[in-house]
Amino acid sequence: MFVTAAYAQSTTPEGEAHDPAAAGEVHTETGVAPEGEHGTGVFPPFDSSHFASQVLWLAITFGLFYLLMSKVIIPRIGGILETRHDRIAQDLDEASRLKGEADAAIASYEQELASARAKGHSIADTAREAAKAKATADRTAVEGDLAKKIAAAETRIADIKSKALADVGAIAEETATAVVKQLIGGTVTKAEIAAAVKASAGN
């Protein structure tokens, strides 16, 4: 329990000396009990008599920490950073190489596609020209065949016509002979009948 000096003096009976060490009291400034004949009543870190040893240990600790940092921790961190830098550089180089390969593959693909399109157009043009030539040849053959058939038909028609006309002349001669016999009761020669039929046909 913390007590003040005034309170301790007011509660001490008259005629009795106040002995903090004997009473087991604590110092009101630092909160620690007196340490016998060597106790000064000041917290050790704030005791000026300990400053030299504290500075010495601070220098030793700082030196050890500096050596640890400079010899162990910083080289390891530097090595890690260097390794990461090299790995990043390698990854960038690999990415650049892969990008170059991808660009080359795309260019090759586009070139092959253009070549395939040109080849396709050429094949289509060739096929179209071949089909056109075949159609022309087929049409020419059909027209020739039709011309031959028409010529043959015209020849047959002419034959049939000439034969029909010949038959018509004979029939006309026979008919004229029969009519003359019926009308005048006489006879006429074939030459006269033929001449008459020709004359009527010419008119």
Tell whether 120 and 140 lie within a shared domain. Answer: yes
Q: How far apart are CA 134 and CA 129, in angstroms?
A: 8
Do 125 and 179 fall within a single domain? no
Per-residue model confidence (pLDDT) at position 186 = 61
Q: What is the DSSP letter of 38?
A: T
Give the total number of structural domains in the chain.
Answer: 3
194 lies in some domain: yes
Query: Residue 96: which H helix or E strand, with range?
Result: helix 74-184
pLDDT at 187: 66
Residue 8: its pLDDT value, please? 46
Q: How far apart are alpha carbons 198 and 200 in whole angstroms? A: 5
| CA 137/CA 129 separation, integer angstroms | 12
Question: Rounded to whole angstroms, how far apart are CA atoms 62 and 67?
Answer: 9
CA distances to 72, 124, 129, 131 from 138, rounded to whole Å, are: 96, 21, 14, 10
Residues 86 and 123 placed together within one structural domain of the fold: yes
Q: What is the pLDDT along the chain (203 residues), one digit of tens a residue?
A: 344 444 444 444 444 444 444 444 444 444 444 444 444 567 776 777 778 888 899 999 999 999 999 888 999 998 999 999 999 999 999 999 999 999 999 999 999 999 999 999 999 999 999 999 999 999 999 998 899 899 889 898 988 887 777 766 677 767 777 776 677 666 666 666 667 666 665 55
Whether residue 176 is contained in a domain is answered as yes
- With a CB cutoff of 8 Å and minimum separation 6, the contacts of 194 are 169, 173
- pLDDT at site 30: 46
194/173 Cα distance (integer angstroms): 6
* 3-state per-residue secondary structure call for 137-193: HHHHHHHHHHHHHHHHHHHHHHHHHHHHHHHHHHHHHHHHHHHHHHHHCCCCCHHHH
Together in a domain, 194 and 161: no
Q: In terms of domains, do 73 and 135 share one?
A: yes
Residue 14 is predicted with a pLDDT of: 47
Residue 24: the pLDDT is 46
Expressed in angstroms, the distance from the first to the final Cα of the chain is 173
In which domain, by residue range, is 183 found? 170-202
Distance CA 145, CA 137 (A): 12
pLDDT of residue 26: 46
